[in-house]
């Protein structure tokens, strides 16, 4: 009986192979995408098949259903194939101001497959095959018309026994990832979604990129077929019911890119594919955009910015650790106890630190009443507020509580970025969507929350037990697709305690990438550290020339190395209840160059460090002991 079933499946996919009309292969021949015609056994719409391995020979995703439903016409069933355009090589080198790599390459083979529906309306499918994944998007090439997109039928079929790490959807994208081996849980799911094939040979991460004003953000749902993850528009209740769930598009039109990063775990972690496919920078002069580290008073004192003296203490912390920024969070408009906003800003500037300020996004889309709430909502309000901030020397704003990914909210995000750029003001978003490649288009977008970060130690006891595992999943999922404002590196306790070691917390300054990295602990949490750890935090960069995954597995452990100039920084953590010995292999270093290693690892107990100094080169290895839920950080400086 089992043999009969396998034979039927083989027959089905052989039929699908016979219906191929086009394919494109990555430059390194590892990834292959096939366009298949509808098939009575497999799909009643056109679909893609994604293959991986030498010559793209192993089927990884057997079916990605295709199609759109527009208010005037259907572009799914009964599409007629017209032609496949000539394959072209996409090749582009670009630089970034912040992120996992300073010099990036956008290199792929691309084809455009053209269709028409029974009404003779045209639809193009643009497909790219990269060395580290694929991307595809829809295009309505006709020159005029405005329509509602009622549904997008793109759906990824993921076979049973494929391991998956998925986060249940919530508008703030602040959930935990669950590890599963099939699709038995049927839910709405956040991006990005991570998968590992049953044979463990290929990993892939599903996301979207280059979402613009002409569409909405989406999520994945698997309610119809438990193993078919369909692109789904926002729910009506998102944003307290404001905005339309279905996007309005104006022709000519292109959809966001549907992105699948593929390969080994290191291919996933090191990929810049989400930015590669996104629109290049629209800001010409970027000299004023300065990534950096900030002190932040909210985590340890929820009402800290209401107190002038607390604000000054955190500004002093930034100055003492050579961090360029300090953030004034909510309630700065009601500051007292010795001074008001203008006094605080004057003091911050006087000690060589630059201020950042928090805003409620405002409007009917959020129930949160925290003030100031009314200053970002309209173009007129923003222009007035940004002009004031420019005069006061405020260099960045944190805007919070968006609670929707409908088209109106996508427009709002981009409005803020464009208006802020006119006044040379950096921006980051909280209570928001996860990155969609906008940091390439608007490099003044420094970071996003869109993650369950350290703030959750204040929300209840749950994060005390879940944080270690959660922290060791994020480098393989959320932080792959863009900057992540987790607000890490906390040694003291806030409202609920840690179970992570001090070594684990220090490592997060390397593992978690963010264009503005907020060190969230209270001043004494840093002042009372031993000298080696304090020195490490005084010099840690938050922008990188290169990033490498050295070892790891989601939910268990992760070790990463990041390069800045001639130096390398390494962070490693364990997410489990077991001690482990991590072999640190320096084979990623260049030949014939020696480095001084400063290794700061777990000591005798969770709140203790062990510090080791030695000279290493490409041939060296070092064994590092990690306590349960432990970690380590290291810096390698060239010996001159």
Instruction: Report the pLDDT averaged over residues 514-534.
Output: 98
Question: 572 vs 16, which has greater pLDDT?
Answer: 572
Query: What pLDDT score does 54 carry?
Result: 72
CA separation (Å) from 381 to 74, 139, 185, 416? 41, 36, 44, 11
CATH number at residue 188: 2.70.98.10
Residue 290 is assigned to a structural domain of this protein: no
For residue 398, pLDDT over 90 is answered with: yes
Which of 14-23, 308-317, 378-387 has the weakest average pLDDT?
Answer: 14-23
Residue 262 in any domain: the answer is yes
Query: Per this entry, what is the length of the chain?
Result: 640
DSSP string for 566-615: TEEEEEEEE-SSS-EEEEEE-TTSPTT--EEEEEEEE-SSTT-EEEEEEE
Q: Within this chain, do residues 10 and 91 fall inside the same structural domain, yes or no? A: yes
Helix (H) or strand (E) holding 503: helix 502-511
3-state secondary structure of 461: coil
End-to-end CA distance of the chain: 69
User: What value does the mean pLDDT take over residues 437-448?
Assistant: 98
pLDDT of residue 281: 98
- Residue 402's domain is classified under what CATH number? 3.20.20.70
- State residue 509 phi and psi, 5-degree precision: -65, -20
What's the confidence (pLDDT) of residue 159? 95
What is the count of structural domains for the chain? Answer: 3
Q: What is the pLDDT of residue 524?
A: 98
Interval 100-107 mean pLDDT: 97
Is there a contact between 482 and 514 (Cβ–Cβ < 8 Å)?
A: no
Lowest mean pLDDT among 8-12, 72-76, 487-491: 8-12
39 vs 242, which has greater pLDDT? 242
Residue 135's pLDDT band (cuts 50, 70, 90)? very high
Residue 177 placed within a domain: yes
pLDDT at 523: 98
197: tokens are: 């094939």
Residue 481 lies in a domain: no
Range of the domain at 599: 560-638
* Among the listed residues 217, 208, 215, 196, the one whose alpha carbon sits nearest the alpha carbon of residue 274: 208
For residue 598, pLDDT over 60 is answered with yes
C-alpha 575/C-alpha 589 separation (Å) is 27
Q: Residue 397 corresponds to which tokens in the numbers above?
A: 């704003």
Q: Are residues 508 and 568 in the same domain?
A: no
What is the pLDDT, as a whole number, of residue 40? 79
Distances (CA, A) of 312 to 297, 303, 415, 441, 589: 10, 14, 32, 35, 42
Taking 90 as the threshold, does the pLDDT of residue 591 lie above it? yes
* 147 and 119 co-located in one domain: yes
In this structure, are 151 and 262 located in the same domain? yes
Judge if 386 and 423 occupy the same domain.
yes
Confidence band for 56, pLDDT divided at 50, 70 and 90:
low
Is residue 480 assigned to a domain? no
Q: How confident is the model at residue 44 (pLDDT cuts 50, 70, 90)?
A: confident
Residue 468, in any domain of the structure = no
Q: Taking 60 as the threshold, does the pLDDT of residue 7 lie above it?
A: no
Is the pLDDT score of 287 beyond 60? yes
CA distances from 607 to 502, 525, 529 (A): 5, 11, 10
188-237 pLDDT, tens digit per residue, is: 999 999 999 999 999 999 999 999 999 999 999 999 899 999 999 999 99
pLDDT at position 14 = 44
**Enclosing H/E stretch for 6:** helix 2-18
Q: How far apart are CA 179 and CA 164, in angstroms?
A: 6
Q: For the domain that residue 588 is a member of, what is the CATH number?
A: 2.60.40.1180
Q: Phi and psi for 182 in degrees, rounded to 5?
A: -155, -170
pLDDT at 16 over 70: no
Is residue 559 classed as helix, strand or coil in its secondary structure? strand
CB 327 within 8 A of CB 317: no
Is 70 exceeded by the pLDDT of residue 2?
Answer: no
pLDDT computed for residue 499 by the predictor = 97
pLDDT given at position 10: 43
Helix 379-392, helix 407-422: angle, nearest 10: 30
pTM: 0.96
**pLDDT score for 360:** 98
* pLDDT for res 42: 85
Domain boundary among 217, 247, 276: 276
Give the model's pLDDT for residue 25. Answer: 96
Same domain, 245 and 316: no
- Asked if 249 and 122 sit in the same domain, the reply is yes
Q: Give a three-class secondary structure readout of 48-91.
A: EEEEECHHHCEEEEEEEECCEEECCCEEECECEEEEECCCEEEE
Residue 116 and residue 38 share a domain: yes
Q: Residue range 249-253: average pLDDT?
A: 98
Q: Are residues 261 and 305 in the same domain?
A: no
**Residue 193, in any domain of the structure:** yes
* Average per-residue pLDDT for the chain: 95
Predicted confidence (pLDDT) per residue in 156-192, tens digit: 999 999 999 999 999 999 999 999 999 999 999 999 9
Binning pLDDT at 50, 70 and 90, where does residue 19 land? confident
In terms of domains, do 24 and 104 share one? yes
Same domain, residue pair 270 and 300: no
Q: Are residues 577 and 442 in the same domain?
A: no
Give me the percent of the chain exceeding a pLDDT of 90: 94
Q: What is the DSSP letter of 168?
A: B
334 alpha-carbon distance from chain centroid: 34
Best CA proximity match to 515, nearest among 443, 412, 456 = 443
Confidence of residue 640 (pLDDT cuts 50, 70, 90): confident
Determine, yes or no, domain membership for 467. Answer: no
């Amino acid at each position: 009986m089992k043999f009969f079933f396998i034979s039927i499946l083989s027959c089905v996919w052989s039929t699908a192979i016979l219906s191929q009309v086009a394919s494109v292969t990555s430059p390194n021949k590892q990834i292959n995408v096939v366009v298949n015609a509808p098939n009575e056994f497999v799909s009643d719409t056109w679909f893609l098949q994604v293959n991986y391995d030498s010559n793209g020979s192993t089927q990884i995703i057997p079916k990605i259903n295709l199609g759109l439903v527009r208010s005037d016409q259907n572009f799914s069933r009964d599409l007629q194939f017209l032609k496949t355009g000539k394959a072209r090589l996409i090749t582009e080198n670009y630089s970034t101001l912040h992120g996992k790599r300073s010099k990036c390459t956008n290199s792929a083979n691309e084809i455009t497959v053209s269709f028409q529906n029974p009404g003779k309306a045209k639809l193009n499918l643009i497909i790219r095959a990269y060395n580290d994944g694929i991307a595809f998007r829809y295009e309505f090439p006709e020159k005029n018309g405005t329509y509602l997109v009622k549904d997008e039928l793109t759906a990824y079929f993921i076979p049973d026994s494929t391991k998956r790490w998925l986060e249940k959807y919530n508008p703030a994208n602040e959930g935990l990832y669950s590890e599963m081996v099939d699709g038995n849980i049927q839910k709405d799911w956040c991006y990005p979604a991570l998968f590992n094939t049953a044979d463990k040979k290929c990993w892939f991460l599903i996301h979207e990129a280059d979402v613009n004003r002409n569409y909405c953000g989406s999520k994945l749902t698997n309610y119809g077929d438990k193993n078919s993850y369909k692109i789904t528009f926002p729910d009506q209740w998102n944003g307290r019911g404001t905005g339309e769930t279905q996007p309005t598009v104006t022709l000519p039109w292109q959809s966001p890119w549907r992105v699948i990063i593929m390969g080994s775990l290191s291919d996933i972690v090191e990929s810049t594919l989400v930015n590669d496919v996104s629109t290049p920078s629209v800001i010409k002069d970027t000299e004023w955009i300065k990534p950096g580290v900030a002190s932040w008073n909210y985590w340890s004192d929820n009402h800290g910015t209401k107190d002038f003296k607390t604000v000054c203490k955190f500004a002093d912390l930034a100055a003492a650790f050579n961090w360029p920024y300090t953030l004034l969070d909510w309630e700065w408009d009601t500051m007292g106890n010795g001074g008001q906003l203008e006094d605080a800003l004057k003091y911050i500037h006087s000690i060589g630190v630059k201020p950042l300020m928090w805003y409620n996004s405002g409007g009917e889309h959020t129930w949160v009443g925290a003030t100031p709430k009314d200053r970002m909502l309209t173009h007129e309000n923003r222009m007035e507020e940004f002009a004031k901030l420019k005069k006061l020397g405020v260099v960045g704003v944190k805007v919070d509580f968006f609670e929707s990914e409908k088209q109106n909210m996508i427009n709002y995000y981009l409005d803020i970025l464009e208006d802020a750029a006119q006044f040379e003001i950096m921006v980051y978003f909280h209570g928001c969507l996860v990155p969609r490649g906008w940091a390439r288009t608007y490099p003044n977008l420094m970071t996003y929350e869109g993650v369950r970060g350290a703030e959750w130690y204040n929300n209840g006891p749950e994060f005390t037990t879940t944080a270690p595992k959660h922290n060791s999943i994020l480098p393989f999922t959320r932080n792959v697709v863009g900057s992540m404002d987790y607000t890490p590196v906390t040694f003291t306790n806030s409202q609920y305690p840690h179970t992570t070691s001090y070594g684990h917390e220090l490592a997060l300054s390397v593992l978690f990438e963010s264009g503005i990295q907020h060190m969230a602990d209270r001043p004494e949490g840093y002042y009372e550290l031993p000298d080696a750890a304090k020195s490490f935090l005084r010099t840690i960069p938050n922008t990188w020339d290169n990033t490498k995954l050295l070892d790891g597995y989601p939910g268990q452990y992760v070790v990463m190395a990041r390069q800045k100039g001639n130096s390398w920084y390494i962070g490693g953590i364990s997410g489990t209840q077991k001690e482990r010995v991590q072999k640190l292999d320096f084979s990623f270093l260049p030949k014939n160059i020696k480095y001084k290693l400063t290794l700061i690892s777990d000591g005798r107990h969770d709140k203790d460090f062990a510090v080791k100094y030695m000279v290493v080169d490409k041939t060296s290895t070092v064994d590092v002991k990690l306590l349960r839920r432990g970690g380590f950080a290291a810096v390698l400086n060239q010996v001159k």
